[in-house]
Amino acid sequence: MITHKYDIVVIGSGPAGATVSRFAARAGLSVLLVDKKQELGAPIQCSGAVSRHALEEVGLPLAEEYILEPIYGFAIYDQAGKAKKIDYRRLKGEVYGPGPDRKPLGYVVDRRRFDRYCMMLAERAGVETWLKTEGLGYTPAADGSCTVQLRRYNQLLEVRCRVVVGADGLMSQVGKWAGLQTHIKITELAGCLQFIVDRVETDGLLEIITGHEWAPGGYAWVFPKGNGYAEIGLGVISTMTEHSAQWHLDKFMRQSFFKDRFAAARILEVQGGGVPLAAPLRTQYADNLILVGDAARHVNPITGGGIHTALSGGKIAADFLVKHLQGAEREDCSAGALAGYQSAWLAALGDKMWKLYHAKTAVFHQEDIPTRDAYLFKTMSDYFDPNSEYKKI
Amino acid sequence: MSKPPVIFSIGWNACINCGACVAICPQEAGFISPFDTIAVDRPCDIACLLCEQICPVDTIDHVVAPPPETALT
């Protein structure tokens, strides 16, 4: 029995889902945002690094509630520990730095607080939000709308809407409901593990450590995590190693050029996840359905970063849906009518992400390990260079 | 020759609920457990074992599923 009707139903309240919802509701659409969790953002599967620009671009206030530490630049290391530092406090000290009249380049955020904050903003914009609510499937109807099957606190219910937005992350089931090709290759999904640690010093930089010895197929990282803590992690491609990410992280901490720096580290949290170093989905829409965020594989294939792409992709999706559902063709929510979402996304972001994917593929097609390592170090260094064409991705 | 179906078992003590196994899984929608892992309560007839390969903490294992005629009905 259909109990509720909305213009759109969004499955998953991460940065992408909450952003689509917020902008859609603000423009006057009725929106239901559901998430199966009782606590958003947990368990944490993300390092939490995001540029200030990415937050400002979608009108997210820079709030103490979720910010753990400001970031002022990058340090890229090769396997032996030689570093290229890109510190905006030195490069553009008049703009970037701590203190008044200066600003950070970005932040490391607490994903539990950040996701909750994004949902709170959506809720205040008029979105109906239901936690402990899982999407089970959807059925397009003859009148151009669709029915979404949900389970909320063990109760099955059906809601009617015009468009379902799949924002259910890398493990997306929504894309599979529509029969979209969502399968990711084992060579393009990095298995990642990170520790939040005490007693490791950091200096306001995102540190990225390349080299097959430490992280085959991926890279290792050391990020400031606020309160004097650090985050040490890495991602590996499983076809390039016999061992798990856990084994590699242990080796990185005990044997790398940072072993003295890490000697006193005490582990406060263990987090992990799969990070796609892959191309965006070729088709991100179906009848009455679009995908956003990790579910659409809107993830930077060089860095594995997905918060910025989720936020800006979410706004692009909302802008499209608002225009479509308030326009003359609003009765038509077939795949063909929703294809414009993907075109808008490609023009704004996707084409650049495809370019990054090709750059990343060129690195890992190098068979010779030292050549590949040198290539990866250069690609990473160029990517974070102040003059990089990808600065805003 | 197709591989025999398997039933996965997860060492929950080491599992960090990261979802990488679900992300790599080529099964249709719904082959998941309530803990954001691949399903452990029914056989997997694909048996590609990519989930075991991707697991960051190496905590997924499997047994060959009992043939249907011996399964409890």
pLDDT of residue A393 exceeding 60, the answer is no
- For A272, which of B16, B26, B29 is closest by C-beta distance? B16
**Rounded mean pLDDT of A303-307?**
96
Long-range pairs of A54-62 with CB within 8 A, sequence gap ≥ 24:
A54/A106, A54/A307, A54/A308, A54/A311, A54/A312, A55/A107, A55/A311, A57/A311, A57/A312, A57/A315, A58/A19, A58/A23, A58/A311, A58/A312, A58/A314, A58/A315, A60/A117, A60/A118, A60/A121, A60/A311, A62/A107
pLDDT in tens, A310-348: 999 999 999 999 999 999 999 999 999 999 999 999 999
Q: Nearest CA to CA, how far is B22 from chain A (Å)? A: 5
A244 belongs to a structural domain: yes
Contact of B51 with chain A, judged by CB distance below 8 Å, is answered with no
Report pLDDT for A391: 67
Across the interface, whether the CB atoms of B57 and A169 are under 8 A apart is answered no
A381 belongs to a structural domain: no
Report pLDDT for A130: 98
Report pLDDT for B70: 59
pLDDT in tens, A137-153: 999 999 999 999 999 99
**Distance between CA atoms of A262 and A255, rounded to whole angstroms?**
10
Report pLDDT for B3: 85
Q: List phi, psi (to 5°) of A8.
A: -135, 150
Q: What is the DSSP string of A355-385?
A: HHHHHHHHHHT--SHHHHHHHHHHHHHHHHS
CATH of residue A165 = 3.50.50.60
Report pLDDT for A392: 61
pLDDT in tens, A8-32: 999 999 999 999 999 999 999 999 9
Nearest residue in B to A234, CA atom: B56
pLDDT of residue B73 exceeding 60, the answer is no
Across the interface, whether the CB atoms of B23 and A171 are under 8 A apart is answered yes
A390 belongs to a structural domain: no
What angle in degrees, to the nearest 10, is found between the helix axes of A351-364 and A369-384? 150
Question: Do A343 and A218 belong together in one domain?
Answer: no
pLDDT of residue B63 exceeding 60, the answer is yes
Instruction: Give B-chain residues touching A273 at CB under 8 angstroms.
Output: 18-20, 56
Of the pLDDT bands very low, low, confident and very high (cuts 50, 70, 90), residue A389 is: confident
Question: Do A180 and A197 belong together in one domain?
Answer: no
Contact of B64 with chain A, judged by CB distance below 8 Å, is answered with no
Contact of B34 with chain A, judged by CB distance below 8 Å, is answered with no
Nearest residue in A to B60, CA atom: A244
The CATH topology of domain B6-70 is: Alpha-Beta Plaits (3.30.70)
Domain end marker among A277, A303, A323: A277
Nearest residue in A to B23, CA atom: A171
Name the domain count of chain A. 2
Report pLDDT for B66: 87
Contact of B49 with chain A, judged by CB distance below 8 Å, is answered with no
Across the interface, whether the CB atoms of A43 and B16 are under 8 A apart is answered yes
Across the interface, whether the CB atoms of A173 and B20 are under 8 A apart is answered no
Across the interface, whether the CB atoms of A246 and B58 are under 8 A apart is answered yes
Decide: helix, strand or coil at residue A17.
helix
Domain end marker among A225, A245, A277: A277
Residue A63 CA neighbour count, 13 Å, CB half:
14
Across the interface, whether the CB atoms of A169 and B19 are under 8 A apart is answered yes
**Rounded mean pLDDT of A210-222?**
98
Question: Do A152 and A172 belong together in one domain?
Answer: yes
Across the interface, whether the CB atoms of A191 and B16 are under 8 A apart is answered no
Show the tokens assigned to A297: 């594989």
Report pLDDT for A33: 98
Question: Do A229 and A317 belong together in one domain?
Answer: no
CA dihedral A88, A93, A96, A98 (to 10 degrees): 110
Question: Do A165 and A210 belong together in one domain?
Answer: no
Question: Do A248 and A288 belong together in one domain?
Answer: no
A393 belongs to a structural domain: no
Across the interface, whether the CB atoms of A274 and B19 are under 8 A apart is answered yes
Question: Do A180 and A170 belong together in one domain?
Answer: yes
pLDDT of residue B68 exceeding 80, the answer is no
A387 belongs to a structural domain: no
**Distance between CA atoms of A18 and A315, rounded to whole angstroms?**
10
**Rounded mean pLDDT of A209-234?**
98
Q: List phi, psi (to 5°) of A376.
A: -65, -45
Instruction: Give A-chain residues touching B32 at CB under 8 angstroms.
Output: 171, 173
A55 belongs to a structural domain: no
Nearest residue in A to B50, CA atom: A186
What mean pLDDT value characterizes chain A?
A: 96
Question: Do A179 and A196 belong together in one domain?
Answer: no
Please name the residue ranges forming H helices in B1-73.
20-24, 50-54
CATH of residue A249 = 3.30.9.10
Report pLDDT for A245: 96
A172 belongs to a structural domain: yes
Nearest residue in A to B22, CA atom: A171
**Rounded mean pLDDT of A222-234?**
98
Question: Do A190 and A273 belong together in one domain?
Answer: yes
Interface of A with B in 252-271 (CB under 8 A): 270-271
Question: Do A38 and A146 belong together in one domain?
Answer: yes
Interface of A with B in 273-292 (CB under 8 A): 273-274, 276
Report pLDDT for A3: 82
Instruction: Give A-chain residues touching B29 at CB under 8 angstroms.
Output: 137, 173, 176-177
pLDDT in tens, A245-280: 999 999 999 999 999 999 999 999 999 999 999 999
Report pLDDT for A99: 86
Our CA angle for B30, B44, A132, nearest 5°, is: 25
Question: Do A231 and A190 belong together in one domain?
Answer: yes
A61 belongs to a structural domain: no
% chain B with pLDDT above 70: 92
Nearest residue in A to B34, CA atom: A36
Q: What is the domain range of residue A205?
A: 67-108+185-277
pLDDT in tens, A27-71: 999 999 999 999 999 999 999 999 999 999 999 999 999 999 999
Contact of A204 with chain B, judged by CB distance below 8 Å, is answered with no
Across the interface, whether the CB atoms of A191 and B20 are under 8 A apart is answered yes
Question: Do A268 and A126 belong together in one domain?
Answer: no
Contact of A193 with chain B, judged by CB distance below 8 Å, is answered with yes
